[in-house]
Structure 1
Amino acid sequence: MRLFVGDDWAEAHHDVELMDASGRRLAKARLPEGVAGMTRLHAMVGEQLGEEAEEAEVIIGIETDRGPWVAALVAAGYTVYAVNPLQAARYRERLSVPHGLPPAAAGGRRQPASRGGQGRGPDAQDADLGTYPPYPTAAALAASALKRAGRRGDLAAKAAPIQAALRTEQLSRPEVVTALHKEVEAHFGRHPAAEIICSQPGLGAVLGARVLAEFGDDPDRYTSAKARKNHAGTSPITRASGKKKVIAARFVHNDRLIDALITQAAAAIRFSPGARAYYDRQRARDADYNTALRQVANRLVGILHGCLKTGTLYDEATAWSSHPESVAA
């Protein structure tokens, strides 16, 4: 028996629909993100499969192939496929289940619903949070975070729901991912370019290692900053026809690299005055959030290229010298 699950992932919930092999809807629900939602999904699957759960195959289509939620699905024995939303729309038009897509990870036959896939620990840690000095209490940590974010009023009261959320059971990273995280931190620093890469705003050991791996470390691979930007997919494409000029984002790119660079840019605008001012200027020109962030990423790729070519560490004033208003900000 095969059971098919469509998972529409929003920021805080999942809209799921269960279907049989003929495409007939069996059940649907909106599930919260985290352990509670995953537990409910297992229960829904178990309700449909009943005594056939041990031998049935559960195939899930979702918009991404990474993250604790996807890891929990794979750990439960589901076969998971990352499906581009545009592809999904075309599949729906043809009333067929997607074929020919690579599974997110090695799936297989699902274990009984009562046994598989629940997160076993409370720490779903981010790849590049770094190490910070410990705070005396969780309340002080939450209040400090709110203060840095510009919140006012009774911070202790506002921190309470944050503490409560953090203390609930969370989906965890697989042990192998945690082990790999530690290995990367231990060995990346030995690379000759590691110090330069980690000096860039928004890049730590793990994210920096991914950027290095995707760019490669051949010093002669990119003849110019523009060549590196084009490879990264951060530089826009300009199309001209007569008097009309259209500037568009590059849609053909290395997904892992662009994801890392956008993540870097999102962190950089918080800690680099130059990056923040550059971002604000793009927004002032009516660029939306994603477009402005891509522009920051594009600029940071050029800065990284210059640092690697000259063998120098990142310097805030030098990096934004061609944008003096950014440095002044």
Structure 2
Amino acid sequence: MFAGVDWAENSHVVCVIDGDGEVVERVMVAHDKAGITRLITLLSDHRVAGTGIERGDGPLVTALLAAGLTVFVIPPSQVKSLRGRYGSAGNKDDRFDAFVLADVVRTDRRRLVPLVPDRADTQALRALVRARQDLLGHRLAIANQLRAHLLSVTPGVVGLFAELDALVSRAFIAEFGTQDAVDALSEAVLTPWLKARHYHVRTAATLLERLRSAASGVRGPAGQALAGVTQAYLSALNTVIQQIDALESQIAAALAEHPDAAIFTSLPRAGTVRAAWLLAEIGDCRGRFPTAASLAGLAGVTPSTRQSGNTRIVAFRWAVDKHLRNAVCNFAGDSRLSNPWAADLYQQARARGKKHNHAVRILARAWITVIWKCWTTNTPYNPAEHRALQNLLTSPQPTG
């Protein structure tokens, strides 16, 4: 017995066929707990040898795998072309597509890669990475609250250093957290303070000038009272940053033990955390993404095209895995700083009038093809074997 499931947002059509391709049972189930339970019971009762489905993620696929069923992902593009096996019309029909999926599993099972859940270490790495992303959001929120507070209490401190949540900036706020303390600062006091924190001591005069030229804050008893608010925000910010650092240490240790680490750490400017982020969101289950296009589609770096008659609309893709898209686009946007091929693709997109985020998604789509190839062949990225990069490096460059 074999089965095919035509997935939809609110309901699913499941078709069970026998070894000769004859339909044994075909039903529609709702996309809820009762419906998914009914579907799994149906497949288990028929003891299906394999189930075909068009996507490799979501609650339905998770439930099928948890039930111990063998699942094969057959992309929609392949289903579309496979309809021609059974007739020339090629019309889209959920009941018919469920049969096509089941019959492809029956006839082509040896060519398909079964979908298996990610390894336990991959799931653990994903939990660590996503927790870090959540804390980064909290860090930004608290830093913004602290900045808004300081603009009223000690305006000169805001913008004094490159980042308000940088270590040197937090240390300065902790020690000179009132307008009175800032006013009492002198070059003789600030210079050794900066030196102790391995900061450029020659900037002491410049920093003092910034503090003196800034708008005045709240002085006296009122300033001392508001310093408690400053320290409260600062304490919360320090705590979140400490926990982010702790998670990053755990991420580095988990990544070092993962068998796919070499693939992702070999990518340009991937580092440790970004490599772990990519690995965690892509996963280790090769069967989930049988083509690079299927990975790109879930990552939302390909446009959504709608066409009817002479009308064709190309729009931003919303129904995606946002965790995956953020990971891929974060990597792609930074890769252009060290990889000439990536920089060239980005600049070409910008020259065509694309905004930064759109250009990054275009670059991410190109990178996914490379990453998918490395991932499916268990091969680290090697710039010397990246044909497009080498062609760019060896091609004659235009002269001014």
Query: If the length of structure 2 is used for normalisation, what is the TM-score?
Result: 0.41
With a CA cutoff of 8 Å and minimum separation of 6, indicate the structure with the bigger relative contact order: 2
Query: How does the TM-score come out when normalised to structure 1?
Result: 0.49
